Amino acid sequence: MKKVEAPTLEEAYQKASQMLGCSVSELQSEVIQHPSKGLFGLLKKNAIIVATCQKTASKQVKHEVKKETAAAPTAEESVAPEIISTVKEELTPVRTSAEPKIEKDAIVDSFFEVDQHENDVFEEEMVVYDALALIIEDQLKELLSHSCFDIDVVEVDVMDNTALIFIDGEDAALLIGKEGYRYNALSYMLFNWLHAKYELFIKLEIAEFLTTQQEMIRNYIKPVIEHVEKHGKGKTRFLDGILVQIALEQLRERFPDKYVAVKTAREGKKFVVINEFNNTKSHV
């Protein structure tokens, strides 16, 4: 098995075939990292694959199955598989030949198999999330270092498939922009980057802008909530940018049993409607 890195997948496959002494069609490979041109020319990534030759791989199948039978299951459901594989490879300790092999009592272990598995999955997921947060934080710091804004605080935390991003500094207000137009643009750009690369959603907080907007929307939708509780349906006024998303989240939390969705008027303006599930086509 060979780990190969190249600017493109095609070059990686060609390089692997030369290293293993077989044709590309005989390769059995797994993509660890897809190539990326980066963001605005920055943070470019090469393709990384792990490859074996099918001729030799078939001879090793029985040996590998026996070797991997006692291995603990992995948690590769919450983030992109290639990121988990890369992080796990860097963090997994290698057992030396001097270390004794620990034999486990299968009958005793069976009583704790489910709980231990869940605990291992949780701990492994947290390790991957922490490592992923550091990767995103470093890349975001590098990106902002090329901007004209004086930003001195960039912190990233990852949990529940969401990247929580906090940015602050002397030019935080300028980064937000008038009526939050720069905030909306940056939030949209970061979402497209992180969701495409790491399958993450984002929550962006610049200074206390998001907190302020959430509180403003919370106060605004109070009469909307009262109207829905009285008449069974309702809608908000037109909302811009991040405000419509905040209103959608808060109203869905308040009315989990109702149809709550964003609608777009003919002029392109957006608003949130609340209705019964079986009356989604009726006018509010």
How far is the C-alpha of 179 from the C-alpha of 44, rounded, in Å?
33
CATH topology of domain 213-279: Ribosomal Protein S8; Chain: A, domain 1 (3.30.1370)
Q: Find out if CATH 3.40.50.740 is the number for domain 72-90+109-207.
A: no
For residue 36, the tally of other CB atoms under 10 A from its CB is 14
What does DSSP assign to residue 172? Answer: H
How is 184-217 classified by DSSP, letter by letter?
HHHHHHHHHHHHHHH--EEEEEETTHHHHHHHHH
How far is the C-alpha of 83 from the C-alpha of 90, rounded, in Å?
11
Instruction: Order the strands of the 234-235 sheet from edge to edge.
Output: 234-235, 270-275, 259-264
80 CB burial (10 A radius; 0-12, 13-18, 19+): middle
How far is the C-alpha of 159 from the C-alpha of 243, rounded, in Å?
23
CA 277 distance to own-chain centroid: 30
Q: Where are the alpha helices (DSSP H) in 46-112?
A: 54-68, 81-91, 106-110
pLDDT of residue 228: 92
pLDDT of residue 225: 92
pLDDT of residue 73: 47
The reply to whether 213-279 shares the fold of 72-90+109-207 is no
pLDDT of residue 105: 53
**φ, ψ at 54 (rounded to 5°):** -60, -30
pLDDT of residue 222: 92
pTM for the whole thing?
0.43
Please choose, from the candidates 45, 38, 39, the residue with its C-alpha nearest in 3D space to the C-alpha of residue 9: 45
**pLDDT tens for each residue of the chain, 284 residues long:** 778 888 888 888 888 888 888 877 777 777 777 787 765 555 677 888 888 877 655 555 445 544 544 444 444 444 455 555 655 555 455 544 455 554 545 544 554 454 555 555 555 566 778 888 899 999 999 888 888 888 888 899 998 888 999 998 888 888 888 877 888 888 889 989 998 988 888 888 888 887 888 888 889 889 999 999 999 999 998 887 778 888 888 999 999 999 999 898 888 888 999 998 764 444 44
Tokens 């989604």, residue located = 280
Domain ranges within the chain, ordered by starting residue: 1-70, 72-90+109-207, 213-279
pLDDT of residue 27: 77
pLDDT of residue 236: 92
pLDDT of residue 77: 45
